[in-house]
Amino acid sequence: MRLLSRQLIAFIIVLSNFLTAFATAQDNPIIIGQAIDLSGPNGSIGRDYVAGITTYFDSLNVSGGINGRRIKYLVRDDQGNPAQSAKVASDLLEKDKAEYLLGGIGAAVTDAVINAPKFIQSGQTLFAPLIGSVKNYGNRVLFWRPSPEQEMQYIFSYFDKLGIKSVGIAVQENSLNQDMFQYVSNEVKKRKMQMSGIVHITGTPADVDRESAVLANANPNIVIVVADTLGTGLFLKEFRKHAPRTFVAGMSLTNLDTLAEVAGPKNLEWTVFSQVVPNPQGKKSIIQLDHNNMMKKFRDEDLSALTFEGFVVAKTLVKGIHLSKAGRDGLQTLAAQKGTMDLGGILLTPGDGTYRMSSYVDIALFRKGGGLMF
């Protein structure tokens, strides 16, 4: 009887310790914040990106979180406004005590966040913003996606293999696009391609139409667009009047929903886009299957390249959290890792000094009837 009492007491002590630890873990979540456009000009990009991130964190939380600590993911809508993004990110750090901060969309909001006093004081690394322009922030920002230059290199290499030698450029002239325009122009020269002409996406649709007609008459094999989504849409709407079956190439952060609204779905045919993740509908790798299954389980949204990117970004961030130590940012430790890291079919290549986790690029064709074909 005395032995039974001792065993019962021991069991109660173990159970009490377990419940205390469980309660502590529940009361001590890992707080991850993000300021991102959910209702502004890039709202559909932001919503898909967040859906993928949320899905991974939900799947992690139902299996116990990280060492018993659940993820508390706080998302705030910055509406694509740099000042609002800086304010919201500062609140996430100061009021919500976010331990990690995910980035928003575009160079302007990224600049605003990393220059906000609260972010500077935090000493954190901004992780995985979506930026389509040429920017280098050093160790203040750790990108997940490859650089715009890598995306553009892939586009050139892809069409070079097809024997395409004459290239046109459509450029929306502003400070953010100037570096990429120069990069594309230099690449045309370096590859000994013929420059067929340039369309300047400025002024009125009539101006764009006039320059598009001149470019179409030069009969380029492909036109590379250096512009935001609205600029790309305006160009396609006018250029397709003169060249309905000339390849036009854009980059992965083009908002396809908005593009279809501006240009019209028919004008998106013969248009290709670089992509920074494999086919989200594919089932060739473990992480593609996980994304597919978890999205069906936790979300109502359709699968997209951006839900997939968000999913793998969240998984990568968790890798960084596992590497965190007192006084050492886990993301900086992650960025300094040597060799490759396998996320289940997507290989990360940190440690090369670029502060970019992935170098994966593919290309997808906008198919007749809508949607991308990888």
If asked whether residues 128 and 103 sit together in one domain, one would say yes
Q: Are 100 and 321 in contact (CB under 8 A)?
A: yes
Q: Are 319 and 341 within one domain?
A: yes
Instruction: Please indicate, yes or no, if residue 2 is contained in any of the structural domains.
Output: no
Task: Check pLDDT > 80 for residue 15.
Answer: no
Residue 129 lies in a domain: yes
The DSSP-derived string for 220-282 is -SEEEEES-HHHHHHHHHHHTTT-TTSEEEE-TT--HHHHHHHH-GGGGTTEEEEESS--TT-
Count of structural domains within the chain: 2
Q: Are residues 29 and 141 in the same domain?
A: yes
pLDDT of 10 reads 38
231 and 203, same structural domain? yes
| Residues 267 and 295 occupy one common structural domain | no
Q: Are residues 247 and 261 in the same domain?
A: yes
| Residue 20 domain flag | no
Residue ending a domain, among 246, 275, 304, is 275
**Would the pTM count as exceeding 0.75?**
yes
pLDDT in tens, 88-140: 999 999 999 999 999 999 999 999 999 999 999 999 999 999 998 777 898 89
Domain containing 265: what range?
148-275
Q: pLDDT digits over 302-350, tens only?
A: 899 999 999 999 999 999 999 887 556 789 889 888 889 999 999 998 8
Compute the mean pLDDT over every residue in the chain, rounded to the nearest whole number: 89
pLDDT tens per residue, range 141-183? 999 999 999 999 999 999 999 999 999 999 998 777 888 999 9
What single DSSP character describes residue 366? E
Q: Helices in 37-192 by DSSP H: which ranges?
A: 43-62, 82-94, 107-114, 117-122, 148-161, 175-190
Q: Are residues 195 and 261 in the same domain?
A: yes
Residues 160 and 269 in one domain: yes
What is the rounded average pLDDT of the residues 216-230? Answer: 95
- 368 in a domain, yes or no? no
Q: Are residues 33 and 139 in the same domain?
A: yes
CA proximity to 282, closest of 292, 274, 273, 272: 292
Query: In the predicted model, what is the mean pLDDT of residues 188-206?
Result: 94
Q: How confident is the model at residue 20 (pLDDT cuts 50, 70, 90)?
A: very low
pLDDT of residue 359 exceeding 90? yes
For residue 169, give the CATH number of its domain: 3.40.50.2300
Decide if 338 is inside a domain: yes
Q: What percent of the chain has pLDDT over 70?
A: 91
Flag whether 8 is in a domain.
Answer: no
The answer on 113 and 60 residing in a single domain is yes
CA dist 55 and 58 (Å) reads 5
Same domain, 194 and 220: yes
Residue 351 lies in a domain: yes
